[in-house]
Amino acid sequence: MQKRIFGIETEFGIIFSPEGRKTLPVEKAIRFLFEKLITTEHFLNVFLENGARFYQDTGCHPEYATPECISPRQLIVYDKAGERILEELQGYAEEKIEEERIPGKISIFKNNTDFVGNSYGCHENYLVDRDVDFYYLAEQLIPFLVTRQIYAGAGKVSQAQDGVHYCVSQRAQHIYQKISGTTTNDRSIINTRDEPHADREKYRRLHVIVGDSNMSEYTNFLKVATCTVVLQMIEDNFINKDFTLRNPVKAIKDISFDTTCKRKIRLDNGKEYSPIEIQREYCEMAMKYINEYPVSDELKDGVEKWQHVLECLDTDPDKLDRKIDWVIKRKLLQTIADKRGVSFDDPSIFMADLQYHDVKQDRGLFYLMERKGMVDRLLTDEEIDIAKTLAPPDTRAKMRGAFIKLAREHNIQYDLDWSNIRLGNLLNVRVICNNPFETDTEKVAELVRTIQKTNLRKANLSKLVIQS
């Protein structure tokens, strides 16, 4: 597919830290987060004016799902906008907590694990053609996804039986299957859930649940752009080498524990490659592919960045200490450890690891580094701010966002999901939009007129009551 829809669902960790004896259950803290968004919709499941969805997921995690996006770069803009929206809601929630006279603060983290070993995900979604054999696509993609963590991992200080290790990925240790239908217990690399939120006869959704949540814009873009190119190569039958792994679940864990990224893993054919070597093979094929097939300038840029990152990982990973999350964080933690004269098993290092992911810009260590110009950026604050309230102009999200804004302005009862809009006191006026590439329809225009007529009737009725 030359034209594709992208989405990211991010589950956030949340902690309330009391400053006295009185505490606050996390469930109530989350309700305060949602309170500012109260509409006629379900209380803990809200669609926003930028077309995104914000809801409470399993395990008391606030989750932000981006609107439908048309490119990897647009996707990371809306992913970052989700952080900023959550930060604003956090400020409102803390004000409500203060009114309750419960001293303390809420902390929200864009990471993937907590201190007791629970994991929560960052799920990538790619629209794919229904005609492509799903299991063939998945098998071809798995070796790439298993080894992608060497530049897409968020990094983590991990406590193991043999001591403390710094790992490349947070999510890798919580993967137990190649392909499955669950996202919570037997987590897999690729999820089989077939919810395209589009024409089911034409499309399906590729649901990748193996990735880490990224703070770095550079890392996040590279993660999605490289996967997009590989996915496109698979669809065009361009990949002519077999990288099927003997044991992908074991491999993904082994790779995570190796910060050299050079430990060999065994393929199904008996050959052994390092993660860098496997990624180089994919990257070299991608370089040939973009010269022979129509590919956007954005994806070409992604392939160039991919090549650069692999070269640095092979020669000196520290060259990526402004770009790649796990390298940025490792250098930061080492600096803190050296300054305090402690090792990585010190509690302060575990805490700094967590604080790297704090979404509050005046507290999070990543954002402290960003303010000091210590990390590379791809986006501007202005475009992130715009994405907080304005939906992508080139997908179905544009209609959803415009409708939500209008309905709220006129206090119209409504309900919606990704493909449906319903309004009226009985929610009996409905518009179905199964084409995620569609940005405007006569049906939605008619829906807008219905809102306006309803509002006019209310106004006339009010006048009649006053006159009588």
DSSP, residue by residue, 302-338: HHHHHHHHHHHHHH-GGGGTTT-HHHHHHHHHHHHHH
pLDDT tens for residues 138-165?
Answer: 999 999 999 999 999 999 999 888 889 9
Query: Whose structure tokens read 């070796």?
Result: 143
**Stretch 280-292: mean pLDDT:** 98
The whole-number pLDDT of residue 233 equals 97
Residues 219 and 168 placed together within one structural domain of the fold: yes
Say if residue 319's pLDDT is above 70: yes
Of 196-205, 315-324, 365-374, 409-418, give the lowest mean pLDDT range.
Answer: 409-418
DSSP state of 294: -
Residues 317 and 433 placed together within one structural domain of the fold: no
Greater model confidence, 24 or 356: 356
Residues 348 and 419 placed together within one structural domain of the fold: no
Residues 233 and 340 placed together within one structural domain of the fold: yes
Select from 165, 185, 246, 174 the least CA-distant residue to 210: 174
Is 328 exposed, middle or buried, given 0-12, 13-18 or 19+ CB atoms closer than 10 A? buried
Q: Domain of 404? A: 396-467
Answer whether 68's CB lies under 8 Å from 85's CB: no
Say if residue 462's pLDDT is above 70: no
Residues 262 and 147 placed together within one structural domain of the fold: yes
Is residue 152 one of the residues assigned to a domain? yes
Look at residues 293, 324, 356 and tell me which one is the last residue of a structural domain: 356
The whole-number pLDDT of residue 463 equals 44
Is residue 386 one of the residues assigned to a domain? no
Residues 171 and 307 placed together within one structural domain of the fold: yes
Domain tally, the chain:
2
- Does the global pTM surpass 0.85? yes
| 157 token code pair | 């200080």
DSSP state of 385: H
Residues 221 and 323 placed together within one structural domain of the fold: yes
pLDDT tens for residues 91-103?
Answer: 999 988 888 888 8
| 106 token code pair | 């809420």
The residues that are catalytic are: 57
Greater model confidence, 406 or 165: 165
Say if residue 252's pLDDT is above 80: yes
Mean residue pLDDT across the chain: 91
Is residue 383 one of the residues assigned to a domain? no
* Cα 61-391-191 angle, rounded to 5 deg: 45
| 311 token code pair | 């070269």
Look at residues 335, 356, 377 and tell me which one is the last residue of a structural domain: 356
Say if residue 34's pLDDT is above 90: no
Task: Count the neighbouring beta carbons within 10 Å of the beta carbon of residue 28.
Answer: 16
**Stretch 78-97: mean pLDDT:** 94
**Stretch 412-427: mean pLDDT:** 83
Is residue 253 one of the residues assigned to a domain? yes
Is residue 187 one of the residues assigned to a domain? no
Is 440 exposed, middle or buried, given 0-12, 13-18 or 19+ CB atoms closer than 10 A? exposed
Is residue 390 one of the residues assigned to a domain? no
pLDDT band at 466 (very low <50, low <70, confident <90, very high): very low
Is residue 404 one of the residues assigned to a domain? yes
Cα separation of 78 and 82, whole Å? Answer: 6
Look at residues 306, 341, 356 and tell me which one is the last residue of a structural domain: 356
Residues 403 and 351 placed together within one structural domain of the fold: no
Residues 340 and 437 placed together within one structural domain of the fold: no
Residues 301 and 158 placed together within one structural domain of the fold: yes
Residues 407 and 309 placed together within one structural domain of the fold: no
Beta bridge partners of 62: 56
Answer whether 255's CB lies under 8 Å from 150's CB: yes
Residues 343 and 226 placed together within one structural domain of the fold: yes
Is residue 51 one of the residues assigned to a domain? no
| 158 token code pair | 């991990």
The whole-number pLDDT of residue 461 equals 46
